[in-house]
């Protein structure tokens, strides 16, 4: 990825579907002087996504695109991204799969955070499956988005120990806390 020139920050869009704790955290990070990115657009496929409240607070432009027809939705998004000169995309709990075609247009510029130690536990219900298998460790991964689900090149990973007392929600919260540290770190790694 190209180095930052001067004080220009890389115009970034964040895609969400739900709670948006990573979005909240990325907004906070982007406002720091040493952040390589600015968040200029947030896209949600759900109009009631809780995370949208953070966008409203900071007056960031948002767009709801329902993704019922993927092709048309992606076309709308692409036009918007071009219009807003977005150069980088962070997926943060975005529950739709982007097409190969879309990813080609943003080749190597779309990243995602996943709550497992990829390549293990791709897909949904990660914590439930990890606990069922009596894993001793879990964690989170920031990776480039490739056409195959959760299979792109890994940028950074954080491993945590699972306590015997951990349940799905305690593990989820433990890992989310790590996600909030790891996502900014990975973005810095890409641009610095």
State how far the alpha carbon of 183 is from the alpha carbons of 136, 176, 180, in Å. Answer: 23, 10, 6
Q: What angle do CA 68, 41, 123 make, to 5 degrees?
A: 50
Residue 171, both tokens: 């593990």
Residue 54, both tokens: 């953070």
**Is position 114 an interface residue for ligand GRF (rule: CB under 6 A)?**
yes
Residue 70, both tokens: 């993927």
| Nearest distance from C-beta of residue 147 to ligand GRF, angstroms | 17
Stretch that binds ligand GRF, among 4-12, 19-27, 54-62, 153-161 (CB under 6 A): 19-27
- Residues marked as catalytic: 114
Stretch that binds ligand GRF, among 30-38, 65-73, 96-104, 110-118 (CB under 6 A): 110-118
178 vs 115: CA distance, rounded Å: 9
**Is position 20 an interface residue for ligand GRF (rule: CB under 6 A)?**
yes
Among 90, 92, 103, 156, binds ligand GRF (CB under 6 A): 92
Enumerate residues 23-52 that contact ligand GRF by CB under 6 A.
51
Q: Beta strands of the chain (E only): which ranges?
A: 10-16, 37-44, 61-64, 88-91, 110-114, 137-144, 154-161
Query: 74 or 179: whose CB is closer to ligand GRF?
Result: 179
Total residues contacting ligand GRF (rule CB under 6 A)? 14
Does the bond joining 119 to the residue before it have cis omega, within 30 degrees of 0?
yes
Among 21, 44, 45, 138, binds ligand GRF (CB under 6 A): 21
Binding site for ligand GRF (CB under 6 A): 18-22, 51, 92-93, 113-115, 140, 176, 179
């Amino acid at each position: 990825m190209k180095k930052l020139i001067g004080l220009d920050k890389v115009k970034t869009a964040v895609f969400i579907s739900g709670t948006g704790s990573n979005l909240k955290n990325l907004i906070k990070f982007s406002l720091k002087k040493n952040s390589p990115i600015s968040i200029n657009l947030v896209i949600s496929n759900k109009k009631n996504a809780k995370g949208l409240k953070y966008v409203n607070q900071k007056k960031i432009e948002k767009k709801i695109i329902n993704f019922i027809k993927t092709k048309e939705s992606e076309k709308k998004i692409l036009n918007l991204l071009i219009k807003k000169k977005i150069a980088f995309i962070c997926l943060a709990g975005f529950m739709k799969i982007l097409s190969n075609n879309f990813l080609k247009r943003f080749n190597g510029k779309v990243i995602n955070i996943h709550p497992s130690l990829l390549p293990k536990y791709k897909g949904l219900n990660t914590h439930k499956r990890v606990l069922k298998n009596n894993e001793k460790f879990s964690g989170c991964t920031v990776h480039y988005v490739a056409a195959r689900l959760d299979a792109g090149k890994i940028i950074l990973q954080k491993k945590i120990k699972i306590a015997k007392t951990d349940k799905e929600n305690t593990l989820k919260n433990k890992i989310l806390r790590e996600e909030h540290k790891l996502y900014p770190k990975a973005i810095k790694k890409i641009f610095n």
